[in-house]
Amino acid sequence: MKILVVNCGSSSLKYQLFDMKDEKVVAKGQIERIGDDSLMKHETDSYQQAKVSVNVSDHMEAIQTVMDELTDPKRGVISSAAEIRAVGHRVVHGGEKVAGSVSITDEVLAILEECIELAPLHNPANITGIKACQKLMPDTPQVGVFDTAFHQTMHKKAYLYAIPYEYYEKYHVRRYGFHGTSHKFVAQRAARLLKKEDKHKIITCHLGNGSSVTAVRDGNSVDTSLGFGTLAGLPMGTRCGDLDPAVIPYLMDKEDLTIDQISNILYKKSGLLGLSGVSNDLRDIQAEKKAGNKRAEVAIEVFAYAVQKYIGTYAAAMGGVDAVVFTAGIGENAVEVRKMICKDLGFLGAFLDEEKNQLQGEEADISLEKSKVKLFVIPTNEELMIARETKEIGLGTQ
């Protein structure tokens, strides 16, 4: 049973083809710079292609190019598109109307159109990719898997902002949260490792260039650090994280900034980059810290401290915690940052095993034997989560 997972950006397309019999990736690749000197990379077990130039003017041609590669007599892994039983699409925003993965219908597409103003950079590309697949594979089930859907289980006390209620009613201003597919994947895995798949309290830390922390109780999102947009919560690669709103008009007045200019600062010049003055990449900042750069050292401290605070907050929100999970680029690989985050979690009953913590990029229990709260590193796999959801929604019990 083959399932194709598609992730369309504004000028890119990433794809993975899964054989769901053993959940193995049989082919994967990406097309970059769609519409302008496009480049493609395609990989299978027996074939690995360096980036090559392709003539792709839009997402429709990109999907067709992917299908040509997948069915190519030499480089392909299937004989025809008919072998693809369903297509799963990563979709960023479904607003309040989508509370889970869904089969793509005209009604669902209309909801995605409505949510463009909530995700103007992502939803249009997601819609384009869906329509392209529908046209090329009209008889193949299409499923949307949403970044925001996992967090639709949050209670109003967690997702409402303390601003005039009319803005929620008129404009749907509330906490939505993101990275939901990743949080769901690692939380499910942690629950299995705990042998508590039905009743559990897990805090998942998706730490990368974009970062968020989520409280998961009994498989449901209780609270999450990202909010209406993708600025709130933890400081990220270039995004500011939590910020006193009074700072914004103050800086706009002092620096004579427009809305676009302050937005550019908060989204693209803040976070680890803004604090360190070095880079948005934690690896570069760590190298500078070792060289004696004090701003780099402080940037890492601010990041680790923010994660610590959210872990404590969400343990309180759930009335306890069974496990803390680290995932994504920083979470899976930054040994020293994990150590800094875990250093003061003893009050929760969480104790780090520093020797086990040296592992990078692989699943591990990094807690001491005496630790009442498990500390896990679990590599995320959003594409596999999308494939699983697609199989369940698009094919049911087939």
Q: Which domain holds residue 48?
A: 2-146
Taking only the tens of pLDDT, the chain with its 398 residues reads 999 999 988 788 999 999 999 999 999 999 999 988 899 999 998 877 778 889 899 888 999 999 999 999 888 899 998 999 999 999 988 888 888 899 999 999 999 998 888 888 788 888 988 998 999 899 999 999 999 999 999 999 999 999 999 999 999 999 999 999 999 999 999 999 999 989 999 999 999 999 999 999 999 999 999 999 999 999 999 999 999 999 999 999 999 999 999 999 999 999 999 999 999 999 999 999 999 999 999 999 999 999 999 999 999 999 999 999 999 999 999 999 999 999 999 999 999 999 999 999 999 999 999 999 999 999 999 999 999 999 999 787 45
Asked whether 125 and 9 are in contact (CB, 8 A), the reply is yes
User: Is residue 280 a part of any domain in this protein?
Assistant: yes
pLDDT of residue 348: 97
> Token pair 């939803």 is at which residue?
123
What DSSP string runs through 16-40? Answer: EEEETTTTEEEEEEEEESTTSS-EE
Sign of CA dihedral 323, 328, 332, 338: negative
Cα-based angle 137, 138, 139 (whole degrees, multiple of 5): 95
Check whether residue 321 and residue 209 sit in a common domain: yes
Check whether residue 202 and residue 115 sit in a common domain: no
User: Is residue 152 a part of any domain in this protein?
Assistant: no
- For the question of residue 147 being annotated catalytic, the response is yes
Instruction: For 40, list phi and psi in degrees, rounded to 5.
Output: -130, 145
Q: Which of 147, 223, 322, 365 is catalytic?
A: 147
CA pair distance 258, 234, nearest whole angstrom: 25
| Sheet hosting strand 39-44, strand order edge to edge | 52-53, 39-44, 24-32, 13-19, 2-8, 84-91, 142-146, 102-103
User: Is residue 190 a part of any domain in this protein?
Assistant: no
Check whether residue 69 and residue 211 sit in a common domain: no
User: Is residue 180 a part of any domain in this protein?
Assistant: no
User: Is residue 176 a part of any domain in this protein?
Assistant: no
User: Is residue 185 a part of any domain in this protein?
Assistant: no
Check whether residue 345 and residue 208 sit in a common domain: yes
Check whether residue 132 and residue 223 sit in a common domain: no
Check whether residue 262 and residue 350 sit in a common domain: yes
Q: Which of 82, 113, 146 is the last residue of a domain?
A: 146
Check whether residue 344 and residue 226 sit in a common domain: yes
pLDDT of residue 46: 83
Task: Extract long-range pairs of 97-101: CB within 8 Å, 24+ residues apart.
Answer: 98/144, 98/146, 98/148, 98/149, 98/152, 99/149, 99/152, 99/153, 100/146, 100/149, 100/152, 101/143, 101/144, 101/145, 101/146, 101/149, 101/389, 101/390, 101/392, 101/393
Check whether residue 203 and residue 110 sit in a common domain: no
Check whether residue 135 and residue 45 sit in a common domain: yes
Domain with residue 332: its CATH number is 3.30.420.40
Check whether residue 138 and residue 208 sit in a common domain: no
Domain count, the chain: 2
pLDDT of residue 333: 97
User: Is residue 317 a part of any domain in this protein?
Assistant: yes
User: Is residue 235 a part of any domain in this protein?
Assistant: yes
Check whether residue 262 and residue 131 sit in a common domain: no
Check whether residue 242 and residue 301 sit in a common domain: yes
Q: Which of 120, 146, 172 is the last residue of a domain?
A: 146
